[in-house]
Amino acid sequence: MKAHQYFFKIILILSSLLFAVSSINATEQQLAKAISLYKDGQYIEALDIFQSLNKDRYSPGLFYNIGNCHIKLNNLGKAISNYYSALQRNPENADIQHNLKHAISLTVDKIDFDKEIKGIKDVIYNIISHFTLNTLQSSFILLILILGLLLIFSRLKYHVFFKYTNLIILVSCLLFINGLSIITRYKDIHQTRGIIKESEVKVRYGPGFNNTKAFILHEGTMVKIFKNSDNWSLIQINKNKSGWIPTRTLIIIA
């Protein structure tokens, strides 16, 4: 390769690095400006910047700040949806948990999915829901390592194999349960959910305003979304309460 080609490549690399650094600096400046505007009570202006920064990033910190702006602007539904989006990406963050809990306390409909326990399946699901997917995956890997070590040790010392049989069976059962828990938690995380964004929404037995009203939901209530049909969504808040609402009344949790 000729010298001028090397030189051209070096120029391109340096230009890319300079562009990346300038982009980072510009983002940091915008973020600092948004935080300053928020502290000064200029929530609409701060919200515009936070949303523009989060357009392609889907950052938990930005979702959190967007939620804070919406709370200040009394947009309860939008605040809760952004807090949930932040929590999905950073489930251990105490600030996000606190602000989400506070926002939910302001809603009219007091619905707690965790209290919907009617059988052993619900008890197990309720236990699983308190663990993050990362925690379950880490414990799964740990159990595999323990089982592997037990099997290797039992092979090396064959005469004591039967002494470890019960322990091997126990770890295998825990591994199986842990695997099912991961699948269940994964499905739960990827279940489409939405937040009611209007002050009041009539839930109907079918998709269409000509269908009978089943019950009413209010702004900020989280629902599970199972189906969409002609601008209507089939939603559920618990096993005994489901129905159809206009899709436009929902904010899909990102």
Q: Which of 54, 45, 112, 103 is nearest to 79 (CA)?
A: 103
Q: Give the pTM.
A: 0.69
pLDDT band at residue 143 under the 50/70/90 scheme:
confident
Query: What average pLDDT score do residues 175-196 get?
Result: 82
With beta carbons less than 8 A apart as the criterion, state whether 82 and 66 touch: yes
Which is higher by pLDDT, 23 or 66?
Answer: 66
H-helix or E-strand spanning residue 250? strand 250-252
Residues β-bridged to residue 204: 213, 244
- Cα–Cα distance measured from residue 142 to residue 159, given in angstroms and rounded to the nearest whole number: 26
The dihedrals phi and psi of 188, each to the nearest 5 degrees, come to: -65, -45
Q: What is the pLDDT of residue 18?
A: 43
Query: What average pLDDT score do residues 101-124 get?
Result: 68
pLDDT band at residue 250 under the 50/70/90 scheme:
very high
Which is higher by pLDDT, 16 or 47?
Answer: 47
Query: What average pLDDT score do residues 53-58 get?
Result: 83
Asked if pLDDT for residue 232 goes beyond 60, the answer is yes
Helix or strand or coil: residue 252?
A: strand
DSSP state of 212: P
Asked if pLDDT for residue 82 goes beyond 90, the answer is yes
Cβ-proximal residues to 36 (8 Å cutoff; 6+ apart), any chain = none
With beta carbons less than 8 A apart as the criterion, state whether 61 and 35 touch: no
Asked if pLDDT for residue 36 goes beyond 90, the answer is yes
234 residue type, one letter: L
Q: Retrieve residue 187's tokens.
A: 């499905």
Q: What is the pLDDT of residue 238?
A: 78
Which is higher by pLDDT, 76 or 177?
Answer: 76
Q: What is the pLDDT of residue 117?
A: 40
Antiparallel, parallel or unpaired: β 213-218 and 250-252? unpaired
- Cα–Cα distance measured from residue 222 to residue 195, given in angstroms and rounded to the nearest whole number: 5
Which is higher by pLDDT, 107 or 123?
Answer: 107
Mean pLDDT score across all residues of the chain: 81
